[in-house]
Amino acid sequence: MWPVASAPRTILHADMDAFYAAVEQRDRPELRGKPVIIGGYGPRQVVSTASYEARKFGVHSAMPGRRARQLCPEGIFVTPRMEVYAAISGQIHEVFEQFTDQVEPLSLDEAFLDVTGSRALFGDGRTIAERIRRDVLERTELCVSVGVATSKYVAKVASDVDKPDGLVVVEPGTEREFLADLPLSRLWGVGPTTCATLERAGLRSIKDVQSRSREQLVEGFGSNLGEHLFVLANGLDERPVISERAAKSIGHEMTFAEDLCEVDDIKGILLQLAEMVGRRLRRAEQRATVIRLKLRHPPFETKSRQKKVAATADDLELYRVATALLESAWDMRKPVRLLGVTGADLVSADAPAAIVKPKQQSLFVAEEPAAELSANQQQRDKLLQAMDAIRDRHGEDAVRHAGKRRATNPWGPQDQE
């Protein structure tokens, strides 16, 4: 009865369980099973996170450390190691990015993922969520709880209801049901004050809110709060997952089922990646001024190299720079498990100021690629436009730059020899 978005999205909310505390317990076996409190108990110090054992005592985040100590005298206070948490967060994000590039981090341990476009490749939301949970555990030895739903808000509530180590899926169309019995405090932005206001109006649960029409809510609580309550209580949160990366860069990665060792194979993949990134840049009417290469050796050694370039969306230029970066990053001995090419620091394709800044060129090749781009550039642009047009009509793989490629990965375009 309630309108469902024309094509329901699949949104995941991934939330590490007691992240900092879990990291400390992972790294220090003597802390396992104990009430661990990340933070200090000096004056003005607060609790960052508490382990589940400590939470039993009533300790929670943002509580003053002094009070936490009172509640939990055997609590073990640990100074946070932010660099470590940040590094682990990076690892977790690498797992996320294998499934989608639409990742919106909320903090080091929480993120939204929009996997709508990844379902064809990886399966439904539940399947993806299960894989993420498994991969994160394997990668970091830590647990992540995941909520799957058709909107950000519902996914976030879902990830929370079955913590720790939970996976909750809210099937499209069942959002209202799912939310109905939850307390008012579950509504985002509804704290004690608003709760009191709602209760005075006779609303004690989300179900009650659901029973009111949009007009009634706006009339009773004002256009801001009223609208907000309506949207949330009915699971109608349309907000998109804003990948902060997508705005600043466009890239593509491939992980290989079998690690690659041959230079030609790797260059072949780089060419594919460069083509995909080039096409997306052109479609977004952007040009990249920084090109980044990402390389991973099994099991998890990741390297990244980047280079400033004259603004480009040209496949072969991306490929050329990526190959040069590869030479500096890969010693040709270690096998390669993942390759990524990203165009970053984007500028609009027709912004005149972007490219027309005069620059003294260099005699020697490695410093300045622009010096080598001859007057053939116009011809190349025409070629690229023609290729894009063919792809638009016949599909992504219809036309390729010449070159040997071997697709060994299950999540890239298949080889067309």
Partner 1 sequence: MKILCDRAALLEAVSVVSSVVPSKTTKPILKNVLLRADSEGIGLFATDLEMAAKVRLDSVKVSKEGTVLLPAKETSALLRELSDPTVTLESTDLRCRIESGGGSFVLLGEDPEQYPAEATVVSGKRLEMPSGVFLRMIQETMFAAAREETRYAINGVLVDAGAGCVRLVATDGRRLAISYENLQTDDDVQFKAVVPLRALNTLARALTEGSKEEIIIEVGEKQVVFTTGQTQLVSQLLDTRFPDYEGVMPKSADTTVEIQKALLEGALRRAAILCAAEMRMVKFEVGDNTLRMIAESSARGRADVSIDAVVKGAGGSINFNPDYILEALRQCDLDEIRLDMSDDSMPAKFTLGESFTYVVMPISGA
Cβ distance to partner 1 smaller for residue 62 or 356: 356
What minimum distance in Å lies between the beta carbon of 319 and partner 1?
Answer: 20
Q: How many residues bind to partner 1 according to rule CB under 8 A?
A: 18
Cβ distance to partner 1 smaller for residue 30 or 364: 364
- Window 302-331: contact mask with partner 1 (x via CB under 8 A): --------x---------------------
What minimum distance in Å lies between the beta carbon of 357 and partner 1?
Answer: 6
Q: Which residues, 344 to 373, sit near partner 1 by CB under 8 A?
A: 355-364, 366-367, 370-371, 373
Q: Is 110 known to be catalytic?
A: yes
What minimum distance in Å lies between the beta carbon of 312 and partner 1?
Answer: 13
What minimum distance in Å lies between the beta carbon of 352 and partner 1?
Answer: 11
Cβ distance to partner 1 smaller for residue 258 or 367: 367
Cβ distance to partner 1 smaller for residue 110 or 345: 345
- Of 24, 74, 104, 110, catalytic: 110
In degrees, rounded to 5, the angle at the alpha carbon of residue 95 between the alpha carbons of residues 94 and 97 is: 65
Cβ distance to partner 1 smaller for residue 6 or 374: 374
If binding is defined by CB under 8 A, does position 375 make contact with partner 1? yes
Side-chain half-sphere of 70: how many Cα atoms within 13 Å? 6
What minimum distance in Å lies between the beta carbon of 87 and partner 1?
Answer: 32
Question: Which distant-in-sequence residues (6+ apart) come within 8 Å of 85 by Cβ?
Answer: 19, 20, 23, 108, 109
The CA distance from 281 to 317, in Å, is 13
Nearest to 65 by CA among 36, 49, 93, 44: 44
Question: Which distant-in-sequence residues (6+ apart) come within 8 Å of 136 by Cβ?
Answer: 14, 16, 92, 95, 142, 143, 144
Question: CB of 236 within 8 A of CB of 151?
Answer: yes
Question: CB of 242 within 8 A of CB of 234?
Answer: no
SS (H, E, C) 111-168: EEEECHHHHHHHCCHHHHHHHHHHHHHHHHCCCEEEEEECCHHHHHHHHHHCCCCCEE
What is the strand order of the sheet 76-78 is part of? 47-50, 36-39, 76-78
Nearest to 72 by CA among 23, 26, 37: 37
Q: Any idea which residues carry the catalytic annotation?
A: 110
What residues line the site for partner 1 (CB under 8 A)?
Answer: 310, 355-364, 366-367, 370-371, 373-375
